[in-house]
Every structure is written in structure tokens, then in C-alpha cells.
Amino acid sequence: MPEEIVVRTEKRWLMIMAAMLVVMMAVIVVTGVTDALHPSSNVEIVDPQTLHLQGEFVESNLGAAVEPDGSVTVRIVAQQYNFVPICVRVPAETPLRFRITSADVVHGFLIPDTNVNTMVVPGFVSEVRTMFAAPGEYRMPCHEFCGFGHQAMWANVSVLPKEQFAGLSPVERTNCAPE
Ligand SMILES: [Cu+2]
């Protein structure tokens, strides 16, 4: 193939690639300015500097809490390189609300085979609603590369039969990590 054709084809593709980059950058800038680009599930801000000192995400308030309407809220802090708490117990067949935030960098929160999949961005609260049909053990990996310890960043969710969960003490509900 003559060199000029190769050069012309490469130039064309380069232009197409550059145009795509410009369009994507424009989308980011425009949605950032006009729609305050944010984690899509929820827009709630929180100060990552004082997370452990005051407010919803103090250590004593983490884990699963039963709401007056019978639903369960699970609060988790993601940080390099673990989730706090590292293991939570939740009831099956019950509406669940996961509220997660980060103490440092961007993390991910995923429960395989469910609709739970969100980024965890410092300064924001990510909220995901779900329900487990049956008891079981699930692993929750961090799926955003967050540093050297990322691959070891795992937590567990233990889904218990509804009646069994109701019989647990608040401490047992909050954490199921082995002693
Ligand atoms: Cu992480």
C-alpha cells in the first residue's frame, strides 16, 4: 500500500479520535456545570475530615440499624483499605438501605448478583436500596482502584432469616466479624 494512503488514513483516524475526546470533555464540563455532576444515586454531602468525630458516620452508628417502619439502614465507611464494619448482618425479605461514604479516596461498593453497585466518593454519601430474597453470604469487594492495598479490600454481608435477625442484639447486628 502506498505510504501516502497510510498516512492519510492515520490522519483521518487521529482527527476522529480527537473529535471524540473533545465531545466527551464537553459532556463532562457541561454536565458538571449545569447538573453538578455527582454520583448518580444520591446527592448528599458530608465532611470527610470530621466523619469519625460527629454525625451519622461515627463508629457507634455504623452497621445495621432497624428503622421504625421495619426497614433496615446499613451505614458503612470505606477507607484505605477496608470497610468499617468489615462484616454486617442484615435480614432477608426486608427493604435495605445502604449508606456509604469514604474517609479518604474514591472507593467502590459492589455486592455481586444484586443491584448494589456504586462508587463511594469522599465528601458524598452514596445510597443504594436493595432487598435480599433469601439468606446467604455475600462478599463486598471494593471495585475502584484505591491504592496499593486495593485488592485486599473486601467486606462481607451476612443475610439472615428475618426471624433470626430480629432476635439479635444491636451489637450482633452491627458486626459479624470473627473475634
Ligand atoms: Cu477501596
pLDDT, one tens digit per residue, over 104-148 is 999 999 998 887 888 999 999 999 888 999 999 999 999 989 999
* Per-10-residue mean pLDDT, the chain, length 179: 92 97 91 65 81 87 90 93 90 93 92 86 90 91 90 91 88 72
DSSP character for 152? G
Dihedrals φ, ψ of 120, to 5°? Answer: -120, 110
Q: Cα separation of 140 and 129, whole Å?
A: 15
Residues with CB under 5 A from ligand 1 (ion): 107, 142, 146, 153
The answer, as to whether pTM is greater than 0.95, is no
Q: Report the separation in Å between the CA atom of 159 and the middle of ligand 1, taken as the mean of its atom positions.
A: 23
Q: Note the pLDDT of residue 23.
A: 97
Dihedrals φ, ψ of 14, to 5°? Answer: -60, -40
Q: Report the separation in Å between the CA atom of 9 and the middle of ligand 1, taken as the mean of its atom positions.
A: 42
Q: Report the separation in Å between the CA atom of 46 and the middle of ligand 1, taken as the mean of its atom positions.
A: 18
Q: Note the pLDDT of residue 55.
A: 86
Q: Note the pLDDT of residue 172.
A: 81
Q: Decide: 62 and 76 in contact? Cβ < 8 Å.
A: yes
Q: Report the separation in Å between the CA atom of 52 and the middle of ligand 1, taken as the mean of its atom positions.
A: 18
DSSP alpha helices (H): ranges in the chain?
Answer: 3-35, 162-166, 170-174
Instruction: Find out whether the peptide bond into 161 is cis, omega within 30 degrees of 0.
Output: no
C-alpha cell at 7: 498516512
Q: Report the separation in Å between the CA atom of 70 and the middle of ligand 1, taken as the mean of its atom positions.
A: 31
Q: Which of 106, 110, 147 shows the shortest CA–CA distance to 124?
A: 106
